[in-house]
Structure 1
Amino acid sequence: MAEAHQAVAFQFTITPEGIDLQLSYQALNQIYLSGVRSWKKRFSRLRNSVIKGVYPASPSSWLFVVIAILATMYMRSDPSMGLIKMIQQHLPLSLHVSLSTQGQTMLSALVFSTLLWLSLILALRFCLKLLLSYHQWMFEQHGRVSNTTKVWVTLLRLLSSRKPLLYSYQTSLPHLPVPPIKDTVSRYLKSARPLLTDPEFKRMTELADRFESNLGNRLQRYLKLKALWATNYVSDWWEEYIYLRGRGPIMVNSNYYGMDFLYVTPTPIQAARAGNTITALLLYRRKVNREELKPSRVPGTVIPLCAAQCERMFNTTRTPGVETDVLQHWQDSEFVAVYHKGRFFRLWVYTAGRLLSPREIEHQIQRILDDLSPPQPGEEKLGALTAGERVPWFHTREQHFSSGINKRSLDSIERAAFFVTLDDEEQGMSGEDPAGNLDRYAKSLLHGKCYDRWFDKSFSIVIYKNGKSGLNAEHSWADAPTVAHLWEYTLATDAFQLGYTEDGHCKGDVDRSLPSPQRLAWDIPSEVQAQACSSLAVAQALADDVDCHVFPFREFGKGRIKKLRVSPDAFIQIGLQLAYFRDRGGFCLTYEASMTRLFREGRTETVRSCSNESCAFVRALESGEAEDQCRRLFKLASERHQNLYRLAMTGDGIDRHLFCLYVVSKYLGVESPFLKEVLSEPWRLSTSQTPVQQMELFDLKNHPDFISLGGGFGPVADDGYGVSYIIVGEDMINFHVSSKHSCGETDSHRFGAQISKALQDILTLLAADAKTSSSSSKGSTQPQSKKLL
C-alpha cells in the first residue's frame, strides 16, 4: 500500500558491498512538518495559559506596573513603603557580590512590581468572582431594573472589557452553592403536591420532616465539606452515577441526535457534503484548541457561562467497564474514523502540517465510496457492541481487543477526532410523505441500523446518500447546548462560508498524490461475532420499540407569544401540561432541563414544570371556567414557571441537591426512605429546549429556508414521553416527540397533535384578552382626541 511505504522514513539492506541506506525525504519532511505543527500547538497553549491566567488583566500590564514603580522611585519617592529595601536586604549573598547597589535596587523594584502586579490580578479576579456571584438581576421584572443591578452591570462591563479567550472566565466563576436542606425539602413538597392525594401527601410530608430533622442534617454536613473541597459538588457524581455507571445500552437511553436544515440540502453529493462538514468541524476544533471561540454568555447579557464541557468535545471516547465506564480524552488527533457499507477506514485530515482542503477531503471520501472491497468477517456489525449492554462489551474488549491488530484498529476509532458514517440510505423531509420521512430521519439519527454508528464516540457525524446530514452524540461528556453550539457553527460554516461550486462539489484544489484512506484490519473470532449478534439483538429490540414523531409547528412562534408579554418557554411548558392532561387524563412528574453553567463546571438542573399553578390553570380551562379566570391562572402559572427556572439556574434547584444527599447516604451505608422514594419517582414527561445560540451565523432574512430542525432524544420512562423543542426565528417551533410502542397508553403522533392543539388553544385564550384590551384602549383615547381637536 502507498501509505505504508510513505510511512517509512528510511530503509536499509545488507549487500556484499556493505549497507545500502535509502532515505525517504518526503517522509522525513512529513515528520518535520508534523513536529513543527506540534510545537506550534504547545506554544499556543502556553501563550493562552499566560493570557487567561492573568485575566481580567493583561500580560502587558506588568510592564505598566514596573514603569510606574520605577518612575515613582526616580522621583525619590518610595511607593513600597519600605518593602523594596526589605527585599533588597534579603537578596541572596551572591547577588550582593555581583550587583552594584543600584542594580540591587532595580532588581528589588522588579520583584516588588511583580508581586504587586500579581496581587492586583488576584484582587481583580476576586472582584470579578464576587460580581458573577450576584444573581438577583435574574429575578427582577422586565423594564424595572434596580440601581444595584445597574451598578453591577457597569462594574461587570468594566472588568470584562478585555477580549476574553474561551476559558478566561473559568477561575472567576463562582462555585455551585449547597442550598439549605430546609428550603430544598420545602420546595420538593410543593412540587409534589399536585401529583399526590391528601393521604399520600401527608405520608410524604411526615417522611420529609423526619429526614430533615435527623439524617438530612448529617448528610448535609458531608455535602458542604465536599463543596468546600471540590470545584463543583454535583458534576463529578452526576457524570459517574447518572451516565457512566449505567450498564444498559447507551443507544436511545442516553445518546441524542441533531438534525440538518429542514428545507434545504446544500449539495446532493454525499462526498462533497462530507468534505465541508468534516472541514467545518475541524475548524471548530482549531478554535477550541486555540481558545478563539467567544465564551458563551446568557443571551442578551455580558454574563459568561462555564466552558469546561468544550474540553472533551473532540478526540474523546467512552470505554466500557464492569461497574463504570471511563471517558478517555487525547490531546490531539490528525485523523477521523469513517464507516461505509460494513468497512472501517482511517482518514488522515492533515498533510505536511496543514489541514486538507474541503475538496481534498471530498476526494478522499469519494475514494472510500468507490472502494468495492467487501467487509472482513465480523466487521460489518462490529459497531453493535457499542449499542448493546456495557458489561458484555467490556469483556469482549478485554479479551479480543487488548493487543495485536484488533487493538490497533480499535485505537484508530477511539483516538479519532470523531466518527463519520457514510450512510447508504436517503433521509430528509422531501418525498411523497414529508411527515413520515421526518420521523424516519429522526429514528435513523437516534439509532440507525444499530451497528453503523460508534455510539461510544463523543459524537458521530452521519452523511446520507442524498447529502443530508446529522449527528449522534454521547451524553456523559457534555450536555446538548454544547453540542448544539458546535452543530450550529458546522451548518453555518458549511452552507455560508465554505460553500460549493455550481455543480455541487467542494471548493479548493486537490493534491492527487495523497495516500488513500486506510482500511482498518480486523481478526474477529467467532466468539466476538456471536457477541456482536447478541448485542445487536438487544439494540434492535430497543430501536424497534421507539416511536419518534418530528413536526414543525408553523401556526405561530415566539413573535406572537412575546407580544402577549409571556415567556415563550413558559408558554410551551404550560402547553405541554395541557397536552399531557388531555392525552392521559391527569398530571405527571415533569422534567425540564435547565443549565447551571453560571457556576464553574456546572451542568444541568431540573425544573419541575408541573406545579400547583399550572395544574390549576389546566383544570380551569378544561372545566370551562370563565376566560378571565383562566387568563389569571395562566399568568400565575407562567410567573411560577419562570421563577422555578431562575431558581434552578442560580443553584437553588431541588433534584441535584437531593441526588447528592442520596449519594452521600450510600457512601455512609445508611438508608433514607424519603430519598429512596424521591429518586425512584418516574419522569413520565421529560422535556428540553434546544437553544439557538449563534443567530448571527444565520441570515434568516435573506435565507429563510436555512433553519435547523434541532434535535431530540429517546423517552426516559417506559410509559412516558420525551419532548425536545427548538424555537426557530419568530414564527416556528420544531418539536421532537418520542415514546415506546410497547406502552399501550402512549402514542407520539397523538401527543404531537395534542401539543399543537394545546398551544393554539392557549394563544386563542390570551389573544382574546389582548384584542379586548386593544379595543378598549382605542375607545378610551378617541374622546380625548376629539377634545384636543
Structure 2
Amino acid sequence: MAEAHQAVGFQFTVSTEGIDLHLSREVLKHIYLSGVTSWRKRAIRFKNGILTGVYPASPSSWLVVVVTIMSTMYARIDPSMGMIDRIKKTMPVSDYLTVHTKTLLSAILFATGLWLSLILILRYTLKLLLSYNGWIFEPHGKRSCSTMVWMRLVKLFSGRKPLLYSFQSSLPRLPVPSVKDTIKRYLESVRPLLDDEQYNQMEIVANEFRKYPAPTLQRYLVLKSWWSTNYVSDWWEEYIYLRSRSPIMVNSNFYVMDLLYITPTHRQAARAANAVHAMLQYRRKLERGEHAPMRAQGTVPMCSFQMERIFNTTRIPGIDTDFVQHLKDRKHLVVYHKGRFFRVWLYYGGRHLWPSELEAQFQKILDDPTEPQPGELKLASLTAGERVPWAKARLKYFSQGVNRSSLETIETASFFLTLDDEAHGYEAEKLRSLDLYAKSLLHGKCYDRWFDKSFNLIVYRNGKLGLNAEHSWADAPIVGHMWEYVVATDCFQLGYTEDGHSNGDISKDLPHPIKLQWDIPSQCQGIIERSYTLAKEIADDVDFHGCLFEDFGKGLIKKCRTSPDAFIQLALQLAHFRDKGEFCLTYEASMTRIFKEGRTETVRSCTNESTAFASAMDDPLKSNDKRLELFHKAAEKHQHMYRLAMTGSGIDRHLFCLYIVSKYLGIDSPFLKQVLSEPWRLSTSQTPQQQLNLIDLKRFPKYVSAGGGFGPVADDGYGVSYIIVGEDLITFHISSKFSSPETDSYRFGQNIRQAMLDIQALFMNKENRM
C-alpha cells in the first residue's frame, strides 16, 4: 500500500557482516521540523499563559517593582516596614548565603509578593467594576456622568493589549434572581396569553410554589452559585442538549451561510483549500490565546470560555447521556465525498499545508473513482437519527478492528469537511434558491454530514460554502466569530489566481489522502438504514423559507429612534398575529456572556405591550398616533426585558435550575412542570455579524453574509433567525413543518414583510404630517 511505503523512515537488514542501516534524510528532516514546531508551540503557549495569568499586569512590571524596592533599600528606606528583615531571618543558615545575598533574596521575595498582591487588587477591582450593570439600562448615546466615569475606570483597569482569556478571572459570576421577582416576571409574561380564569388559576399555583418548595430549592441553588463558576451553564449543557435522546439533526444543530452575493472562485477544491487554511490560522491563534477578547460597547469584556472547544471536538453518543470530547493538537481532517471518507494530514514539515497543497489534496479526493464500501455510503446517518440506537451500534460494531480505527479518525479530527456533489447558493433569478441552500446546510441528504462534530464545513460543487454546527458545546455567536475570520481571510488575504486556483507552491512529497476502511456487517447496515429513514422523514418535513428584506434596514430603523431588534421583534409579533389570529409564547435568545461561562437567556417577547400594539395595527378605530404611541411603549418594554436577561435577571434559566434541584430532591412541583412544558410556538434569534469588523461594508457592500438559521422548535410553530446586514438589508430564515396545517413558512415570510412595511409607514405618516 502507498501509505505503508510513505510511513517507512528507515530500513535495515541483518547479515553475517552485521547490520546494514539505511536512514531516510527526508523523513528525519520532517521529524526534526515537526519537533521544532511542537516545541515552539509549547513555548508560545507557555508565554501567553504567563501573560494571561498575570493580567492586567505584565512580566516587565515585576521587574519594575523589584528595581523600585531595591532602589529604596539602597537609599536606606524600608518600604516593607520590617517584612524584608523578617523574611531574611527565616532563611536557612548556609555558607553560600552571605548577609548581602540574603538581603537581596528577601527583597526580591517581598517585591514578588507585593507584585502578586497588586495583581489581585487590580483583578478584584476590575471584577467589582464589571459587576455594575447600570450602563445597560441607559439609553444608547445618552450616558450619565457616573457611567462615563465607570467606563473610563474599566478601560484603565483593563490594561493594554489583552489576550483572549485575559479577563476570565475578572468576570463576575451570574447572579441568582430572587424567587419573588422571577415569579412576578413570569406571571406578567403569560398574562397576554391567558384569559382571566386561566390567569387566576396560574397565579394561585405560582403563589403556592413561592411559599413551598421555592425557598428550599432556592437555598440549594444559591449554594451552587457560590460553589460553581456558573449556576446554569453545566446543567444547561447536560440536560437541554446532552441528555436529549432525540435526533440532533434539525432539532438541535444549526447552520451558517456563505457570502450572499460573492463567490470568489467556482473551483470546489480551491475554495475548500482556502477555507480550511483560514480555519487553521484561526485555530493557531485560538490555541495560543491571541485573539482579542470580545467586548460589549467596545469596553465590557465577554466570556471566551466557549471558544476553547471550536476545534477537535465531538459529541460522543451514550445510552443515557452523550458527552463532549475535546482534544488538543489534532493534525488531520476527515473529508466526505460521494459516500467515501478520507483522512487528510494538515501539517507537513512542521507547518500547515499551503492552500495550493490543500487544493491538490482535495482534488485527488474529487478525482478518486472508487466506490463506497458496503454500509459506508449512509454511515453518517447514524449521527442524524435517535441517539440510543447510535450509542448501542457504536459499542457493538465500532469498538474494535478497522471500524474502531476509522471511527476514531473521524471523532478525533480537527473538524469534518464535506465536498458536496450538489450546487447551492443564493441566485436572485431562482425563486427557492435560498430555501434549498438552507435545507442543504441544515440536513443535507441526512448522511453526508457528521452531525456529532463541533462543526461541518460544507463546500458545494459551485464553490459556495456553509457550516452545520452542533449546539451543545457553544452558541451561534462563537461559530459566527470564527466564520467571519474565515470568510474575510479567504477573500482578502489568501485570494486566488486568475483562473481560480489557490495561491502557493506544492510540495511533491505530500502524503496522499488515505481512504478510511470499514467492515460493516449486515445487522449494522440495518440500523444505519433505519436511522436514515427516520432522519429523512424529519428532513422532508422541514418547510423552509429564506426572506431577503431589502426595502430598508438598520439605517432607517435608527432614524426612527428605536432599537432595530425591538423593531423586528414587534414586527414578528404582528406577523404572527396576522398569520394565526392569536398570540403565542415567544422565545428570543439573548446572551449572558458578560458573566463568567455565561451562555444564553430567554427574552419572552410576547408582552402585554406588544400584544396591545399588534392588536391596534389591525383595529380600524385606532389612529396612527395611538398605534405609534403603543409601538414606543412595546419597544421600550422589550428593550427593558432584553437588558434584564443580559444582566442575569431573566425568567427561564432560573426556573429551569429550580426544576433540576426539585428533581434531585424528589420534590414534585406542578408549577415548574407546567412552566417547562409550555411550547415555544415562535422561537427567534438574531445572528450576530461584524463581530470582528474585518470587512469594510462601505467599501465592499456585496461582501455580506446571509446569516444562518435553525429548525422549528414546536411541531405547530415557527423558528425565525434574522440578521441585520449593514444599513439596508435584513435577512429572515423561517422554518416550520409541512405536517402542521397551521403553519406555512412562505406565508409567514410575506406577513413579516408586510408587518415591517406597516410599522415603517407609521413613522413615515408622522414625518409627512410634520
What band does the TM-score fall into relative to the shorter chain?
over 0.9
Report SS of the residue matched to 1:56: coil
Is the CA contact (8 Å cut-off) linking 1:317 and 1:458 kept in structure 2? Answer: yes
Deviations 1:297-328 (A, max 9, x none): 11x33111100011000000000001110100
Equivalent residue for 1:663, pick from 652, 660, 685: 660
Distance 1:584 1:620 in 2: 16
Structure 1 length as normaliser, TM-score? 0.96
Which residue number corresponds to residue 217 of structure 1?
215
Distance 2:593 2:429 in 1: 43
Distance 2:521 2:212 in 1: 57
Deviations 1:375-411 (A, max 9, x none): 1111111101100000111111111111221111111
Which residue number corresponds to residue 58 of structure 1?
58
Which residue number corresponds to residue 321 of structure 2?
324
Report SS of the residue matched to 1:301: coil
Question: Which residue identity lines up with residue 243 of structure 1 in the other structure?
Answer: Y
Is the CA contact (8 Å cut-off) linking 1:274 and 1:463 kept in structure 2? Answer: yes
Is the CA contact (8 Å cut-off) linking 1:564 and 1:770 kept in structure 2? Answer: no
Report SS of the residue matched to 1:337: strand
Question: Which residue identity lines up with residue 248 of structure 2 in the other structure?
Answer: I
Report SS of the residue matched to 1:494: helix
Distance 2:428 2:548 in 1: 16
Which residue number corresponds to residue 145 of structure 1?
143
Distance 1:611 1:536 in 2: 41
Is the CA contact (8 Å cut-off) linking 1:268 and 1:468 kept in structure 2? Answer: yes
Distance 1:767 1:332 in 2: 57
Structure 1 656/610 Cα, relative in aligned 2: closer, same or farther at 3 Å? same
Which residue number corresponds to residue 261 of structure 2?
263
Is the CA contact (8 Å cut-off) linking 2:481 and 2:692 kept in structure 1? Answer: no
Report SS of the residue matched to 1:577: helix
Stretch of structure 1 that moved more, 585-594 or 31-40: 31-40
1:739 aligns with 2:736: yes
Residues paired across the two proteins, number: 769
Which residue number corresponds to residue 780 of structure 1?
none
Query: What RMSD, in angstroms, separates the aligned Cα atoms of the two structures?
Result: 1.1
Deviations 1:671-721 (A, max 9, x none): 100000000000000000001133631122232211110000000000000
Which residue number corresponds to residue 486 of structure 1?
482
Question: Which residue identity lines up with residue 450 of structure 1 in the other structure?
Answer: C
Which residue number corresponds to residue 576 of structure 2?
580
Which residue number corresponds to residue 202 of structure 2?
204
Which residue number corresponds to residue 786 of structure 1?
none
CA apart distance, 1:431: 7.3
Which residue number corresponds to residue 602 of structure 2?
606
Which residue number corresponds to residue 593 of structure 1?
589
Distance 2:397 2:161 in 1: 50
| 1:173-322 paired onto structure 2 within 5 Å | 173-298=171-296, 300-322=297-319
Which residue number corresponds to residue 377 of structure 2?
380
| 1:693-772 paired onto structure 2 within 5 Å | 693-694=690-691, 696-772=693-769
Distance 1:116 1:405 in 2: 58
Report SS of the residue matched to 1:166: coil
Which residue number corresponds to residue 99 of structure 1?
97
Distance 1:92 1:313 in 2: 50
Question: Which residue identity lines up with residue 33 of structure 1 in the other structure?
Answer: L
Distance 1:695 1:11 in 2: 51
Question: Which residue identity lines up with residue 204 of structure 1 in the other structure?
Answer: M
Distance 2:92 2:5 in 1: 59
Is the CA contact (8 Å cut-off) linking 1:6 and 1:26 kept in structure 2? Answer: no
Structure 1 404/189 Cα, relative in aligned 2: closer, same or farther at 3 Å? same
Is the CA contact (8 Å cut-off) linking 1:297 and 1:305 kept in structure 2? Answer: yes
| 1:538-577 paired onto structure 2 within 5 Å | 538-577=534-573
Deviations 1:171-195 (A, max 9, x none): 1000000011110110000001001
Distance 2:702 2:136 in 1: 34
Report SS of the residue matched to 1:696: coil
Where in structure 2 are there 5+ consecutive unaligned residues?
Answer: none
> What is the percentage of aligned positions where both structures have the same residue?
62
Which residue number corresponds to residue 505 of structure 1?
501
Question: Which residue identity lines up with residue 164 of structure 1 in the other structure?
Answer: P
CA apart distance, 1:14: 3.6
Report SS of the residue matched to 1:485: helix
Equivalent residue for 1:691, pick from 673, 688, 691: 688
CA apart distance, 1:42: 1.6
Distance 1:541 1:407 in 2: 29
Distance 2:66 2:356 in 1: 52
Which residue number corresponds to residue 360 of structure 1?
357
Which residue number corresponds to residue 779 of structure 1?
none
Which residue number corresponds to residue 3 of structure 1?
3
Is the CA contact (8 Å cut-off) linking 2:588 and 2:604 kept in structure 1? Answer: yes
Which residue number corresponds to residue 85 of structure 1?
85
Runs of 4 or more above 6 Å deviation: none
Distance 2:420 2:14 in 1: 49
Which residue number corresponds to residue 643 of structure 1?
640
1:459 aligns with 2:455: yes
Is the CA contact (8 Å cut-off) linking 2:385 and 2:534 kept in structure 1? Answer: yes
Stretch of structure 1 that moved more, 7-16 or 28-37: 7-16
Question: Which residue identity lines up with residue 221 of structure 1 in the other structure?
Answer: R
CA apart distance, 1:16: 4.7
Question: Which residue identity lines up with residue 21 of structure 2 in the other structure?
Answer: L
Distance 1:301 1:493 in 2: 23
Question: Which residue identity lines up with residue 534 of structure 2 in the other structure?
Answer: V
Structure 2 length as normaliser, TM-score? 0.99
Deviations 1:450-488 (A, max 9, x none): 000000000000000111110100000000000011111
Is the CA contact (8 Å cut-off) linking 1:6 and 1:27 kept in structure 2? Answer: no
Report SS of the residue matched to 1:697: coil
| 1:520-531 paired onto structure 2 within 5 Å | 520-531=516-527
Is the CA contact (8 Å cut-off) linking 2:57 and 2:159 kept in structure 1? Answer: no
Is the CA contact (8 Å cut-off) linking 1:454 and 1:460 kept in structure 2? Answer: yes
Report SS of the residue matched to 1:60: helix
CA apart distance, 1:145: 2.0
CA apart distance, 1:422: 0.4
Distance 2:148 2:80 in 1: 36
Structure 1 540/764 Cα, relative in aligned 2: closer, same or farther at 3 Å? same
Question: Which residue identity lines up with residue 38 of structure 1 in the other structure?
Answer: S
CA apart distance, 1:27: 2.3
Question: Which residue identity lines up with residue 288 of structure 1 in the other structure?
Answer: L
Is the CA contact (8 Å cut-off) linking 2:485 and 2:692 kept in structure 1? Answer: no
CA apart distance, 1:196: 0.7
Report SS of the residue matched to 1:548: strand
Report SS of the residue matched to 1:346: strand
Which residue number corresponds to residue 472 of structure 1?
468
Deviations 1:567-600 (A, max 9, x none): 0000000000000000000100000000000000
Is the CA contact (8 Å cut-off) linking 1:564 and 1:767 kept in structure 2? Answer: no
Question: Which residue identity lines up with residue 74 of structure 2 in the other structure?
Answer: Y
Distance 1:330 1:36 in 2: 21
CA apart distance, 1:506: 0.7
Is the CA contact (8 Å cut-off) linking 2:131 and 2:172 kept in structure 1? Answer: yes
1:337 aligns with 2:334: yes
